[in-house]
Amino acid sequence: MSYGLCKAYCGTSQEPFSWTNFSQQFSGWLLPYLALISQLPFGAKHRLDNLTSMFLTVGSPTLAGYSLIITVLNSRWIIRRFEVIDYPNADFAVRILISLQQAPLRVTSEDSLLASLVVLPENDEWWSELAQLIDYTHTWSLSAATSIIWVVIAYLFTVVDSLENLDANINSNGQAVGSVWLWLLSIVIGWLQLSPKCDYSRISKILGRANAMAFVASSYGAVKASSRSRRRAVSIDAVYDNTLFFADENRSPPIFNYARAISWSQSAEEVCDAFCMASRNAGSHRPIDPNAEWQDNGKSDDIHLANRMGPPDAVDSYCLAPTDTVRSRWGSGIFARMCVASLMALLLQWGTTGAALLGVLYTPTTGLGCRSLAYLTYGIISTLIWMIMVASSVLAHYASHRPKAGSSRVALFLSESLCWLGKAMATINGIGIIAVCVFQFSNVFDTCFCNASVFGRGKSAYSVVYPAIGALDSTRKAWIGGLVMASGCAVGFVLFVNLVVDSLS
């Protein structure tokens, strides 16, 4: 039936709402995913930040996937950097740095703070205590496992049922809905595998307890750092000045790791370099005190405590890199890791969204219509949000190094503007995709205009009253292809996370 004839006989309104069809489709296709959102890691200091992280995740699966993968790759990078270091507390250091990816990590090397923390034997307790306290587990639970199993079983049952009854409610079928939300399963499983330490209040208390035990070198020997000032070598003090108050770097839910990736890499590399220089000097049997002789520890390979003591100037020089060494203010290899994270995030986003598009485009009437355009718009906006938020983090990091320069002020203004724009778009996109799914189940899209695929067919648009022989066969093939595509990308994403994590252990 042509589009014009359909309007003449059926009007422009939607088909009548069917509660039975809506309740079955909603509970089978969408409700399990909405319940699964509660299993995302939160832990922010303020409830509004938790709500924002939820909208960012639902509104931009690309950004969620990017933050997860960049976290994995940063962990892998810093572990490999520490593999060549043989110095006391190096194992503790790498564990602590990985655990602090969900916090605004600050490293202070002035006043011998960092060097003292690395070399002084009095700080051994600081490293062991902090590593033990921060190694709490936030991973699989009964509720998380139940939610994931519920989603998987509901998805399999509804997929089989939809393929067996292809011609029943074909336009309000939730096949595309199941595919477009499948990314959430990968994100939740990925974060459960990583067990991010994102409880800001708990991390702050743990670090405060450890920092109370920190020592710093002085002319009279090692003294408590608290006797000198409130500054510490390692802290998670958020920046609350007029320029960075709203920085996502200060928000602990792991979705905001996109904003911390560069600054964390730079801070972690600073700690790593200090350990590396101390390890090299110790390997050359050089004590910290230039006026002392190297003390052998007998049969043990441990460094004698006397070799790890000295005045502040000697402690600093012991951990300083050569004068001709220039450390990047971006963190070594960060852009390569960002590219890999971007590729995996885009694969997850468009593998699931593309599968939903494939199923709808090949459902009679084939072509671009209201449903397919809605899913396409969701994927495009999600990708744009990721681009905007990552660009905002790069500009913010650039501005933080030269806060008084004119270019930095411009970069900071653009960063804050993009940040707010991205969050607004994520909120709208998140609410929009839920509304699209509800509309599909409630026959809102069952109109002559939407069923005729007017966007794609134009003047030749038509509505299918009874599918032609063989038409449903192509639809079934498209739905099966979309199922394989979405499931393959979701499983591949999880396998990639597990592969990289396994290589670290």
Q: Which two tokens stand for residue 267?
A: 């801070």
Helix or strand run (H / E) with residue 216: strand 215-216
The DSSP code sequence of 315-331 is HHHHHPPPTT----TT-
pLDDT at 169: 64
For the chain, what is the mean pLDDT?
87
**Non-local CB neighbours of 244 within 8 Å, separated by 6+ positions:** 250, 396, 400
Segment among 3-7, 17-21, 310-314, 469-473 with least mean pLDDT: 469-473
Could you tell me the residue ranges of all domains in the chain? Answer: 1-28+339-504, 39-138+195-331
pLDDT in tens, 286-296: 999 988 999 88
**Rounded (5°) CA angle 407-412-413:** 100
Cis peptide bond upstream of 20, omega within 30: no
Check whether 430 has a pLDDT greater than 80. Answer: yes
Q: Which two tokens stand for residue 159?
A: 């997929």
**Rounded (5°) CA angle 264-268-271:** 150
Check whether 244 has a pLDDT greater than 60. Answer: no
Is residue 2 helix, strand or coil?
strand
Check whether 481 has a pLDDT greater than 50. Answer: yes
pLDDT in tens, 441-467: 888 888 888 888 888 888 888 888 777
pLDDT at 17: 82
List helix spans (H) across 88-239.
90-99, 113-119, 124-133, 142-164, 175-180, 182-194, 200-211
Are the C-beta atoms of residues 221 and 314 closer than 8 Å to each other? Answer: no
Check whether 492 has a pLDDT greater than 60. Answer: yes
pLDDT at 476: 82
Residue 103 DSSP code:
S
Check whether 323 has a pLDDT greater than 60. Answer: no
Highest mean pLDDT, choosing among 19-28, 128-137, 206-215, 356-365: 206-215
| pTM (two decimals) | 0.93
Provide the pairing of β-strand 215-216 with 234-235.
unpaired
pLDDT in tens, 373-385: 999 999 999 999 9
Check whether 143 has a pLDDT greater than 80. Answer: no
pLDDT tier at 469 (50, 70, 90 boundaries)? low
Burial grade of 170 (CB within 10 A; 0-12, 13-18, 19 or more): middle
pLDDT tier at 239 (50, 70, 90 boundaries)? low
Angle between helices 471-504 and 334-361 (to 10 degrees): 160
Are the C-beta atoms of residues 486 and 355 closer than 8 Å to each other? Answer: yes
Residue owning tokens 């743990």: 206
Distance CA 391, CA 403 (A): 18
